[in-house]
A = this chain, B = another copy of it.
Amino acid sequence: MTKYVYDFAEGSRDMKDLLGGKGANLSEMTNLGLPVPPGFVITTEACTAYLSSGSVPEALAAEVTSHLEALEATMGKKLGQADDPLLVSVRSGAKFSMPGMMDTVLNIGLNDASVLGLAKQGDERFAWDSYRRLLQMFGKTVLGVDGELFEHAHDEAKKQRGTTNDLDLDAAALQQLVETFKGIVRDATGQDFPQDPREQMDLATRAVFDSWNGERARLYRRQERIPADLGTAVNVCSMVFGNLGMDSGTGVAFTRDPSSGAQGVYGDYLQNAQGEDVVAGIRNTLPLQDLEGLDKTSYDELMGIMSTLEHHYRDLCDIEFTIERGKLWMLQTRVGKRTAGAAFRIATQLVDEGLIELDEALLRVNGAQLAQLMFPRFGSTDGAKKLTKGMGASPGAAVGKAVFSSAAAEEWAARGEDVILVRRETNPDDLSGMIAARGILTSRGGKTSHAAVVARGMGKTCVCGAEELEVSTSSRTITLRDGSVVNEGDVLSIDGTTGEVFAGEVAVAPSQVVEYFETGAVGDDDLVQAVDRLIRHADGARRLRVRTNADTAEDAQRARRFGAEGIGLCRTEHMFLGDRRQLVEDLILADTDDERTAALDALLPLQRSDFLEILRAMDGLPVTVRLIDPPLHEFLPDLTELTVEVCVAEAKGEVPDPKRVRLLEEVRRLHEMNPMLGLRGVRLGLVIPGLFALQVRALALAAKQLKDEGLDPRPEVMVPLVGAVQELELVREESEKILAEVGIEAPIGTMIEVPRAALTAGQVAEAAEFFSFGTNDLTQMGWGFSRDDVEAAFFSRYLDLGIFGVSPFESLDRDGVGRLVRIAAEEGRRTRPDLHLGVCGEHGGDPDSVHFFHEVGLDYVSCSPFRVPVARLEAGRAALEATGSDTR
């Protein structure tokens, strides 16, 4: 027969599935001999049985009865007994902490009779206050009465007595309030508040079960991808009271400083109070140290317990405790949250203290924390004038003069000014300005807009979608809601983490961790030392190699310093922009083969020198060059703008420039309804003769020159947007011929970014020496939504509705897109066992995704330079996790 109820003494911290997190930790403490108020746990299995059948399992009542009787025997009093009642709390506790779930119900067992018994134990006011609290909590969370009704009545009572302090209500006032509360319950539910203590307990238990399917809980589960069939456990715990006088109290504490990791006493204590009073913040708490003076015995005991817990859990713990008339009780413990810096410090401290091994220390930190440590931050913003708050799209802190065009950004930066590039939104033409700027501020677009994506790639601070700002690039001003204006040259400070925008200069503190990566110097800062130890340990542990996405020699060099072991994605699009735009226009407008050849020939030496510098920067390491990917019309003017230009000229009776008219024709011809799904990538290469050949030849010639110089260039040719092996075969044939002519060997492979390529990977691998998963496009096509369009339009709504827990562009969707990756990896390797596998989408730098890529057996991830250390760390953690160390 299934056992539905466990005494705390029967459980342990390994039983979270069955007892929930809270119950498991209470059991653990009980078995450590710590002073936990006696109690028991009703299992998650009882909950799931109730939820699937609609009724409480038959066996449960008897089990609860026998455990309750045991509890009553231990405590020497009975639940709700009239003269000296046993009171209990009923609390939910699922395997994973779920803030959306119902709260605690305290003081169960009180009724019109036992409240008098409790009062007789010494404190009449306390007894009526406890009953008042039960009515309020029970009414709200179990009976579903609107909580404001109680609060309003409570406020009313205080008002009548001319006070705002709860403590100013005496026993009589509280007794009267109890009557009022009972009336509220009666009015709202049509029934009296249940007087039977066991009925109270059973109803509260059922309410906890039901709360598992409450709206907020379901939303939370959808967002966090917590399975809906886990259920929650119910903790029934004998009450202890911190509000029995000045020798009682309640507090929270950490076993070491969660901000710095420093060892010491950290916590708060509130005399004559229950836990909820601490949260409500009505009275100021005392620092925990002060407890020593108030109650040395309890204080010493608490210090001992905290040391026990830290040694037992081998980690920072946070705890809740209550002192009832000088007797210390432990109400909760768990491994405590901490800041990013503290995580690194504590992990290495615990190693030095001999509590954990380095492997485990590495599992105690994560890439998101490391990323946080790599961004500069504003020191204090006190006194700074905040203009607005947009979206924090790329973290960091940047200060500079506002400029409104890419050209101005370059010009001002060239003369040594720090600038913030301000645009409504950015496009590929703004690239040089974004490089020149300290930060980017846009009034349009979300976290995956062009500005955000490129800025994150550069590790450059960016605030997006600051919609309250009206940006005019023509008048070079930002107009605020209040009518005030920011002019070109005015100093702005933007915080890419919080999205805040300030007028004037706010002081910035640079990241010591970045300095460490840039220089390799550890120094004597304990945080840098901790990062150094753990990242080196990760490098030793990981199987995944880490490459970088870099299109310039500068990026390549920086990434190398950050530990990149090659370039996984060198985009060639920017090589067609800037000065070269005219050549590309010539190419597109070419009417004859000769004109096209001439345009291609003119581009060849330029491309060659681009590749030369990148290959040189990555000498001895692989450089995967992606042949040109975007549709040609991206290199031409905008259709609407050009149409307006021509039509307006006509309307004014002018003769429009025939060259512009000719260009408009071409723009119209090349215009696509869905450029993302249009003539791009390998399709372009197969339709425009000589385009891919130009690029392969430029790459081969660059490699040849370096080889002749005695260097070790390792180019790789990557074909984008392949959907069928036949496409790749054709490009491979042409490319191999060129490589052979120049005398260079280079592996030829493909992006896997079209779902069909993944689904037919067994065929595609016949023509590919490597696959590089383009998870950005794979996500777009797998979900059928375009980043450019949908994020702003509905992602926030989808997050609200719980359809996503996190944007699939940020963290790889394992079930859908991940399945394509898995299929392609498995079936590609079945065809070609030595097929090299990597990922070059932005997910390559996302901690959670890195673990997935490790699991499916990729050889490397590639990410933006600033994400390289993050990926190194996570790749090490992934390898350790896979070998079975526990991460939770």
Q: Which residues of A contact B (CB under 8 A)?
A: 222, 639-640, 643-644, 647-648, 651-652, 672-679, 683, 686-687, 721, 723-724, 726-727, 730, 753-756, 759-760, 763, 777, 780-786, 788-790, 793-794, 797-798, 801-803, 813, 815-817, 819-820
State in angstroms the CA–CA spacing of A784 and B816 once bound together. Answer: 16
A677–B679 CB distance below 8 A? no
A779 — nearest CB in chain B belongs to which residue? B756
Can you list 6 contacts pairing A with B, beta carbon distance less than 8 Å? Answer: A648-B648, A679-B794, A683-B790, A726-B801, A756-B783, A781-B782
Our pick among B683, B755, B801, B803 for the contact of A816 (Cβ within 8 Å) is B755
A756–B782 CB distance below 8 A? yes
A677–B813 CB distance below 8 A? no
B815–A760 CB distance below 8 A? yes
A687–B794 CB distance below 8 A? yes
A686–B801 CB distance below 8 A? yes
Top 8 closest A-B pairs, CB basis? A756-B816, A677-B786, A674-B786, A754-B784, A673-B788, A678-B789, A726-B803, A674-B674
A803 — nearest CB in chain B belongs to which residue? B726
State in angstroms the CA–CA spacing of A790 and B679 once bound together. Answer: 6
Please, which residues of chain B bring their CB within 8 A of the CB of A755? 755, 781-784, 816, 820
Tell me how far the C-beta of A852 lies from the nearest C-beta in chain B, rounded to whole angstroms: 15
Tell me how far the C-beta of A817 lies from the nearest C-beta in chain B, rounded to whole angstroms: 7
A789–B686 CB distance below 8 A? no
State in angstroms the CA–CA spacing of A183 and B367 once bound together. Answer: 77
Please, which residues of chain B bring their CB within 8 A of the CB of A676? 673-674, 677, 784
A794–B686 CB distance below 8 A? yes
State in angstroms the CA–CA spacing of A658 and B727 once bound together. Answer: 51
B677–A675 CB distance below 8 A? no
A646 — nearest CB in chain B belongs to which residue? B644
Please, which residues of chain B bring their CB within 8 A of the CB of A785? 677-678, 683, 723
State in angstroms the CA–CA spacing of A782 and B783 once bound together. Answer: 10
Tell me how far the C-beta of A629 lies from the nearest C-beta in chain B, rounded to whole angstroms: 12
Most buried by B among A648, A677, A754, A760: A677
A673 — nearest CB in chain B belongs to which residue? B788
B797–A677 CB distance below 8 A? no
Please, which residues of chain B bring their CB within 8 A of the CB of A679? 789-790, 793-794
State in angstroms the CA–CA spacing of A819 and B672 once bound together. Answer: 29
A802 — nearest CB in chain B belongs to which residue? B726
Please, which residues of chain B bring their CB within 8 A of the CB of A643? 640, 643-644
Please, which residues of chain B bring their CB within 8 A of the CB of A723? 783-785, 816
Please, which residues of chain B bring their CB within 8 A of the CB of A686? 794, 797-798, 801, 803
B786–A759 CB distance below 8 A? no
A762 — nearest CB in chain B belongs to which residue? B815
State in angstroms the CA–CA spacing of A674 and B788 once bound together. Answer: 8
Please, which residues of chain B bring their CB within 8 A of the CB of A816? 723-724, 755-756, 759-760
B677–A790 CB distance below 8 A? yes
A798 — nearest CB in chain B belongs to which residue? B686
Please, which residues of chain B bring their CB within 8 A of the CB of A651? 648, 651-652
B727–A803 CB distance below 8 A? yes
Please, which residues of chain B bring their CB within 8 A of the CB of A652? 651-652
B784–A777 CB distance below 8 A? yes
State in angstroms the CA–CA spacing of A540 and B134 once bound together. Answer: 72
Please, which residues of chain B bring their CB within 8 A of the CB of A790? 677-679, 683
State in angstroms the CA–CA spacing of A798 and B726 once bound together. Answer: 10
Please, which residues of chain B bring their CB within 8 A of the CB of A817? 756
Please, which residues of chain B bring their CB within 8 A of the CB of A783? 723, 754-756
State in angstroms the CA–CA spacing of A816 and B761 once bound together. Answer: 10
A786–B672 CB distance below 8 A? yes
A759–B815 CB distance below 8 A? yes
Tell me how far the C-beta of A590 lies from the nearest C-beta in chain B, rounded to whole angstroms: 17
Known: A673-B789, A677-B784, A678-B789. 4 other contacts (CB 8 A): A643-B643, A647-B648, A673-B786, A754-B783
